[in-house]
Amino acid sequence: MIGQIFIALIAILHVYILVLEIFLWDKPYGMKAFGNNAEKAKLTKVMAQNQGLYNGFLAAGLFWSLLADAPFATSIANFFLGCVLIAGIYGG
């Protein structure tokens, strides 16, 4: 149960990042969140939207793991959590 709560929180975080990168990248809140100015945000908007899409796929996979049947749920969760971990290590 605790593991599922953490998976849900990580999925929700990735939905939040998706919104920032796809919809708010060049808006004041998004620029503040990522330390961008208007010029940089305009130049990198398509790249950010692509990143947001990938975050959406991660979130979808994590939500899928919460809804999947027991034999497969752990494998699905482990795969997508592994993707999150690798992306976080690389990004850090």
- Name the DSSP class of 25: T
Specify the pTM.
0.87
Residue 19 belongs to what domain range? 2-91
- Residue 2, SS3 per DSSP: helix
What total of structural domains would you count in the chain? 1
pLDDT, tens digit only, all 92 positions of the chain: 899 999 999 999 999 999 999 999 999 999 999 999 999 999 999 999 999 999 999 999 999 999 998 889 999 999 999 999 999 999 88
Q: How far apart are CA 34 and CA 57, in angstroms?
A: 21
CA distance 67 to 3: 14
